[in-house]
Amino acid sequence: MKALIAIFIALVIGIGAYKIYDHWEKVKERRVLDDRAARGADIDPDQLPGMPWQLVVKLRDAQRGDAAMLKRFIDSCKNFPDVKDPRLAWVELDYVVKVSATDPLEARKIFQAVKKRTSTDSPIYPRIKSLEKNYE
């Protein structure tokens, strides 16, 4: 009987230790994600892959313009097979920020689409996490 009690106590202690360890790993992962979100401003969008060099000048012109001009650029870029994430997603997030003042529903819709197709190991994920509070 004493052996059964000892085994039961050891089992309870083992399960408790595992739960504590599991919680600690989740907290540590959350800290890493928060650190990445804080460093997200350090990313140079011009260094992200997914935008042909021929469109960079047009992109800069569209970014200097209003939200409608940036939207036209994004819509025209989706016809090119060379334009892809993560650069396209970054440009769409720029559009989300620009259009949020005039059309928050459109901003929220596009943000959700970008968030859905972006994985957590993407270089733009920290920016998504930082914008998430505004567009959820």
Tens digit of pLDDT per residue, the chain (136 long)? 888 899 999 999 999 999 999 999 988 888 876 666 555 556 778 788 888 888 888 989 988 988 889 999 999 988 888 888 888 899 999 999 999 989 899 999 999 999 999 988 888 888 888 888 887 7
Distance of CA 60 to the CA centre of its chain: 22
pTM of structure: 0.67
Residues 6+ apart with CB under 8 A from 102: 67
